[in-house]
Amino acid sequence: MRPVAIITGGARGIGLGIARQLAQAGWDLALNGMRQPDDVLQPLEELRCHPVTVEYFRGDISSAADRQQLVTRTLERFGRIDSLVNNAGITSPGRKDLLDATEESFDQVMGVNLKGPFFLTQLVAREMVARPAAADDPVRRSIIFVSSISGEFVSTNRGDYCLSKSALGMATRLWAARLALHEIDVFEVSPGVIRSDMTAAVTEKYDHLIADGLTLQRRWGESEDVGKAVRALVTGQIPYATGQVLRIDGGMTIRTM
């Protein structure tokens, strides 16, 4: 039986890069997103070129009912969950200055970026604890939080986004501590400047910044860079590191003089 991963936001951007890598590794996939099923046919067709099963379950992870439906439908279809990749996220609507930020925007961003992953993890973790892995199962179960370099770098026009991503670091450590006795690993993957739908509007800005040395590796990060990191974690290639953060940022967080 093939291992199964839920990937939120898994049909586009970084999530699709992760899905590609796990499909190549032989994982069945339950992808979640907000787009209509007809709008994700192309990425699903691409992923199904591999000898794996890929399903798309539409839903809003900020909604308790949608989170429960995602877990229920995944179990109905596959019978198991071996990894949860909390990737879905939204940027700050309107990118408003801190002096102009609204509670509505704050609640929306926190709902998707923090509350959703936290309580989806709770649902999946309860299921994993209730159904311990068989002794001869080669797959070690895992939960991944995809955060952002914005959890460390200040953007005063995206305060809610920065706060939500910073909090995912603590969520990682909390869940790692709680689930270690159940043999469930928890990791944070923190991407830097990654080419995606979210960064498309600021391409020119980051082209110049990268050329001027924003990152040690002077190129954009690609979704597959993040995908390869997640693949290494969920396939047990980094086995003694639960609770740790893996920065996929081209050296952006290294200070130089």
- Selection from 201, 36, 1 nearest residue 11 by Cα: 36
pLDDT at 171: 98
| Torsion 2-177-68-35 (CA) sign | negative
Identity of residue 79: G
Neighbours of 120 (CB within 10 A): 25
pLDDT at 158: 95
pLDDT for res 136: 83
Confidence at 132, pLDDT banded by 50, 70, 90? confident
189 in Cβ contact with 165 (< 8 Å): no
Rounded average pLDDT over 146-165: 96
**β-bridge mates for residue 130, sequence order:** none
> Is it the case that residue 200 has pLDDT exceeding 80?
no
* Tokens read off for 133: 């892995």
Q: What are the residue ranges spanned by the domains of the chain?
A: 4-248
Torsion sign across C-alpha atoms 104, 107, 108, 110: positive
Pull the structure tokens for residue 191.
């991407």
pLDDT in the model for residue 68: 98
Neighbours of 203 (CB within 10 A): 11
Kindly state the tokens that stand for 158.
Answer: 């995206």
Q: pLDDT for 68-100, tens place per residue?
A: 999 999 999 999 999 999 999 999 999 999 999
Question: What average pLDDT score do residues 129-148 get?
Answer: 91
**pLDDT for the residue 199:** 81
> What sign does the CA torsion over 211, 214, 218, 220 have?
negative
Is the four-CA dihedral 197, 168, 150, 100 of positive or negative sign? positive
Average pLDDT taken over every residue of the chain: 96
- The pLDDT assigned to 251 comes to 96
Fold entry, domain 4-248: Rossmann fold (3.40.50)
How far apart (Å, rounded) are the C-alpha atoms in residues 87 and 75? 20
Q: Kind and range of the H or E element at 91?
A: none
**pLDDT tens column, 221-256:** 999 999 999 999 999 999 999 999 999 999 999 988
Q: What is the predicted pLDDT for the residue at 196?
A: 85
DSSP annotation string for 26-71: T-EEEEEESS-GGGGHHHHHHHTTSSS-EEEEE--TTSHHHHHHHH
The whole-number pLDDT of residue 146 equals 98
H helices within the chain, ranges in order?
A: 13-24, 41-47, 64-78, 103-110, 116-130, 159-179, 203-211, 223-234
Largest CA distance in the chain: 56
Please give the Cα distance from 140 to 112 (Å, whole number).
Answer: 27
* Per-residue pLDDT at 1: 85
pLDDT value, residue 211:
93
